[in-house]
């Protein structure tokens, strides 16, 4: 997973120490990236363990990522094993323009999402207003999913970035790459005035 994170940095998806990453272990504890690490040099030792509520498990632990509570919400709501969060130009620009959701239809790549068999279906990516108050933002996100039918494995934070998840690292990478491809297409279509 550390190698995957360094790869995301190389693609320009984690500039300036941005982004955070986690996986859930069989005992329910979460291994999450520490705060402020340059992702170009991310090592396995840059993960730390928190419980299901984001509290560090080891005494004297360094600070976990500020967004740990958002990872905890995803694990609480979904049968996910891995969460990847990236800051890209396309996801940052489009999440400022679309304030509630971005809908994709007609793209062949939609089929890579679990349960999708045709490009004719719609993929909905919810957009939440960004906040520095993580407990409040976590509550907003949890409340949304508990009251909406939304099966796509990701959401955007406005002007901030994309969260994507899946059962395994491989599945989560596939979801993340598909979302970023669709967002890049959407941005190009907006620029060309054809969307």
* Residue 23 · residue 169 · CB < 8 Å: yes
Q: Select 116 or 131, whichever has its Cβ closest to Zn ion.
A: 131
Q: How near is the Cβ of 191 to Zn ion at its closest, in Å? A: 25
Q: Select 110 or 158, whichever has its Cβ closest to Zn ion.
A: 158
* Residue 180 · residue 13 · CB < 8 Å: yes
Q: Which residue has the tokens 């719609």?
A: 122
Q: How near is the Cβ of 144 to Zn ion at its closest, in Å? A: 18
Return phi, psi of residue 52, to 5°.
-65, -15
Our measurement of the distance from residue 147's CA atom to the centroid of its chain's CA atoms, rounded to an integer in Å, reads 20
Cα dihedral: 191, 193, 194, 195 (round 10): 80
Stated as kind and residue range, the H or E segment containing 32 is strand 30-33
Q: What is the DSSP letter of 106?
A: S
Q: How near is the Cβ of 18 to Zn ion at its closest, in Å? A: 6
Distance CA 161, CA 89 (A): 9
Q: How near is the Cβ of 97 to Zn ion at its closest, in Å? A: 18
Q: Select 39 or 186, whichever has its Cβ closest to Zn ion.
A: 39
Provide the binding-site residues for Zn ion, judged by CB under 5 A. Answer: 161
Q: How near is the Cβ of 132 to Zn ion at its closest, in Å? A: 11
Q: Select 153 or 161, whichever has its Cβ closest to Zn ion.
A: 161
Distance CA 176, CA 161 (A): 11
Nearest residue to Zn ion, scored by beta-carbon proximity = 161
Q: Select 95 or 110, whichever has its Cβ closest to Zn ion.
A: 95
């Amino acid at each position: 997973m550390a190698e995957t994170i360094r790869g995301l940095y190389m693609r320009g998806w984690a500039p300036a120490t941005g982004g955070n990453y986690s996986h859930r272990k069989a005992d329910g504890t979460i291994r999450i990236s520490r705060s402020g690490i340059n992702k170009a040099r991310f090592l396995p030792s840059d993960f730390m363990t928190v419980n299901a509520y984001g509290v560090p498990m080891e005494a004297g632990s360094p600070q976990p990522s500020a967004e740990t509570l958002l990872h905890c919400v995803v694990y609480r709501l979904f049968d996910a094993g891995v969460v990847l969060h990236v800051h890209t130009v396309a996801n940052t620009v489009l999440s400022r323009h679309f304030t509630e959701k971005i809908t994709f239809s007609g793209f062949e790549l939609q089929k890579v999402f679990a349960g999708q068999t045709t490009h004719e279906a719609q993929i909905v990516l919810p957009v939440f207003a960004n906040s520095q108050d993580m407990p409040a933002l976590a509550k907003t996100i949890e409340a949304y999913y508990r009251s909406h039918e939304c099966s796509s494995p990701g959401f955007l934070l406005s002007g901030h970035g994309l969260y994507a998840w899946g059962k395994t690292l491989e599945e989560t990478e596939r979801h993340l790459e598909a979302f970023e491809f669709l967002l890049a297409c959407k941005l190009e279509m907006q620029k060309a005035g054809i969307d």
